[in-house]
Chains A and B, each alone.
Chain A
């Protein structure tokens, strides 16, 4: 199984809502990532987890809260988002934090109204 799955595929939420994005992989990878990608732009790293511990937090606003319940799961909790947060949110995993090959999920297309 070389797949990273993400749910939901699409999400529309108001600025006062609380929602969560979910990511799962069963490749035994020990590093997992959240990226944000705006249209026609490259993915921007948000968070990195290594062995279920937060390794990198790229100065992301606190309205985004990551969680790694176990080595296969990664969540991104969303609260009080702004319209400019609308983007494609990509989850990825790799064997280790220094691995050059990351496997990306299909992403969640988020629209904040």
Chain B
């Protein structure tokens, strides 16, 4: 099975940088994804890491260290609209050709003026 841990809440100031960490314990680990979900909305894909290192997509970057079973999402130039829940999600091989995405509990980011 999979277990992913991330902080439950983070508060940051508009225009600042915030990092949301995720540690995981997963057998058959394949990669780590990040999703954003606004209240009342559906999760939307942000970023993915299969290999160690940093992936940059605009204001969002994601990092993975497979040796440390650790990743993070970095949000730069925070905007009020970035207030949402952020989930790390691990993809793992679950046998018989199947893969499974398991979500962490989510981090609620509040951006304040």
Chain A interfacial positions (CB closer than 8 Å to B): 40-45, 48, 50, 55-56, 90, 92, 97-98, 100-107
Contacts and interface: CB of A to CB of B under 8 A. Distances in A.
B98 A42 contact: no
Interface of B: 30-31, 33, 41-45, 48, 50, 87, 91, 93-94, 97-106
A93 to B, nearest CB: 12
Q: Chain B's interface: helix, strand, loop or mixed, by majority?
A: strand
Contacts, number: 53
Given A42-B103, A42-B105, A56 B94 contact: yes
Nearest to A6: B42
Contacts of A107: 42
Given A101-B33, A101-B48, A103-B45, A43 B103 contact: yes
Contacts of A105: 42
Given A100-B33, A101-B45, A55 B98 contact: yes
Nearest to B88: A42
B91 A100 contact: yes
13 contacts: A45-B101, A45-B102, A48-B98, A48-B100, A90-B43, A97-B97, A97-B98, A98-B93, A101-B45, A102-B43, A102-B101, A105-B42, A106-B42
Given A42-B87, A56-B100, A97-B99, A104 B42 contact: yes
